[in-house]
């Protein structure tokens, strides 16, 4: 596949791929905020608790299949870079098969899931009842949620970022509109919040399938020409499942880091727990802001490795890191200047405001500490080198777990300092293996 080096590695091209992801990411927190607002207008706080717990269980199941989006992106970018559209189609269909089996299989396990979560979650009877009501409806959207993840992975890998933006904005805005209709208009309470998400996910899947798979589109043509034996190739399935194993372990450890932080903060007191949760919410917004560059890096890394173009790969890694680093500095400056405005938006409690202000400096450090980890994740996703991501996460988690119990004596400052170190280790570890990624783009390795 011929690559125009000047056009494909320019800062403008990287930005063109990044900004649609940033825009669509901005809509994600709005959905959660509307869910809370809808339940907040009901007479019992258990409604909010039930939706929060139900969302926690659903997100855990979704994260277990997080490899569908990232794995599909990397493999698709590599195949597209090599000009192998048949394999792009195969990757898409294999991912959709896993999404269907996993999604509908978990629906079949609904009674067991409800029984297990009821035993594991320590909450009031009312909150647990609302959780079960929410989850019993919400799980019917899981097959569509997983299928949408595969769709996004394919579109990212093909550098169709604006179509990704269309899908994400459509799903999230429809979710909000249906929330308002079902809860405020029809008084469906918890069921309405869950059903809004289910309808939005299925509608988003149908919309994108109609756009991407309509006759004459490149992916549709490739699917039509794909030999059945290639779809069920043992080697292709083995490669996909190896990536799934590595990325699932990585995701589990990321989840464990935040769970340990919250558990440690909870032992310090309710105010400390709430303050740490505010910092993690802040970190989520920072990640949304930097993710666009990481997604662009995924697609471009796979393209240049697939096209056997090490010079282009080297340029794209360097330039995307410069852009992400600059964005991290801008975000840090914004957080520093806007602290007096942002903090009151996050909480109105005076004691909590003061406590969070005292640890705000760690929030200022987060963008600079995290951007390299995010960018390196993008490189290794695009290279389909999931074993390095797994190993880096194991190392970072090991250091975090070893230090967090030593530093919790310093209260929230200690916990957040270890979290910052964990982010830095992730980035440095992966950066140290960049020569191995560059070798993947040499013609001898690409054959």
Per-residue pLDDT reduced to its tens digit, 81-102: 888 899 999 999 999 999 999 9
Are 209 and 254 members of one domain?
no
Please tell me the pTM assigned to this model: 0.85
Residues 225 and 270 in one domain: no
Read off the pLDDT band of 447 (50, 70, 90).
Answer: very low
- Per-residue pLDDT band at 214 (split at 50, 70, 90): confident
Structure-token pair, residue 114: 């409800």
Region 278-297: what's the mean pLDDT?
87
Same-domain pairing of 53 and 160 = yes
The reply to whether 227 and 301 lie within a common domain is no
Q: Is residue 54 part of a domain?
A: yes
Confidence of residue 237 (pLDDT cuts 50, 70, 90): very high
* Same domain membership, residue 263 and residue 181: no
Give the model's pLDDT for residue 176.
87
Last residue of a domain, one of 194, 213, 232: 232
State the average pLDDT for the chain. Answer: 86
Domain count, the chain: 2
- The model's pLDDT over 383-428, given as tens digits with 9 standing for 90+, comes to 989 999 999 999 999 999 999 888 777 788 999 999 999 999 999 9
Domain that holds residue 213: 18-232
Nearest alpha-carbon partner for 55 in 249, 206, 190: 190
Same-domain status, 225 and 251: no
Is 357's pLDDT higher than 60?
A: yes
């Amino acid at each position: 596949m011929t690559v125009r080096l000047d056009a494909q590695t320019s800062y403008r091209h990287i930005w063109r791929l990044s900004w649609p992801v940033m825009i669509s990411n901005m809509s994600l927190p709005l959905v959660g905020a509307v869910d809370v607002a809808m339940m907040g207008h009901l007479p019992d706080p258990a409604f909010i608790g039930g939706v929060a717990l139900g969302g926690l269980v659903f997100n855990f199941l979704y994260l277990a299949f997080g490899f569908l989006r990232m794995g599909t992106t990397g493999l698709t970018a590599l195949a597209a870079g090599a000009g192998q559209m048949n394999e792009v189609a195969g990757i898409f269909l294999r991912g959709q098969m896993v999404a269907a089996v996993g999604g509908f299989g978990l629906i079949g396990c609904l009674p067991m899931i409800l029984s297990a979560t009821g035993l594991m979650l320590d909450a009031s009877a009312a909150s647990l009842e609302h959780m079960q009501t929410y989850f019993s409806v919400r799980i019917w959207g899981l097959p569509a949620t997983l299928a949408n993840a595969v769709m996004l992975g394919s579109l990212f890998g093909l550098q169709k970022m604006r179509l990704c933006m269309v899908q994400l904005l459509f799903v999230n805005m429809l979710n909000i509109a249906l929330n308002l209709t079902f809860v405020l208009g029809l008084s469906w309470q918890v069921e309405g919040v869950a059903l809004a998400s289910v309808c939005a996910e299925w509608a988003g899947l149908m919309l994108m399938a109609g756009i991407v798979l309509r006759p004459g589109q490149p992916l549709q043509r490739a699917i039509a020409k794909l030999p059945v034996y290639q779809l069920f190739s043992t080697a292709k399935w083995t490669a996909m499942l190896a990536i799934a194993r590595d990325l699932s372990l990585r995701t589990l450890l990321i989840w464990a880091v935040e769970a340990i932080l919250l558990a440690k903060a909870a032992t310090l007191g309710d105010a400390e727990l709430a303050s740490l949760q505010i910092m993690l919410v802040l970190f989520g917004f920072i990640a949304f802001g930097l993710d666009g560059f990481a997604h662009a890096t995924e697609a471009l890394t796979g393209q240049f490795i697939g096209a056997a173009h090490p010079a282009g790969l080297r340029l794209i890694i360097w330039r995307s890191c410069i852009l992400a680093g600059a964005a991290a500095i801008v975000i840090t400056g914004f957080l520093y200047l806007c602290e007096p405005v942002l903090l009151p938006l996050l909480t109105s409690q005076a004691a909590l405001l003061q406590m969070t202000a005292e640890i705000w400096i760690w929030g200022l450090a987060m963008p600079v500490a995290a951007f390299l980890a995010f960018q390196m994740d993008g490189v290794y996703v695009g290279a389909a080198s999931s074993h390095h991501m797994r190993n880096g996460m194991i190392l970072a988690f090991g250091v975090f777990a070893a230090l967090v119990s030593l530093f919790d004596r310093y209260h929230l400052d200690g916990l957040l300092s270890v979290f910052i170190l964990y982010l830095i280790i992730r980035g440095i570890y992966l950066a140290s293996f960049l020569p191995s990624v560059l070798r993947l783009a040499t013609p001898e390795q690409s054959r």
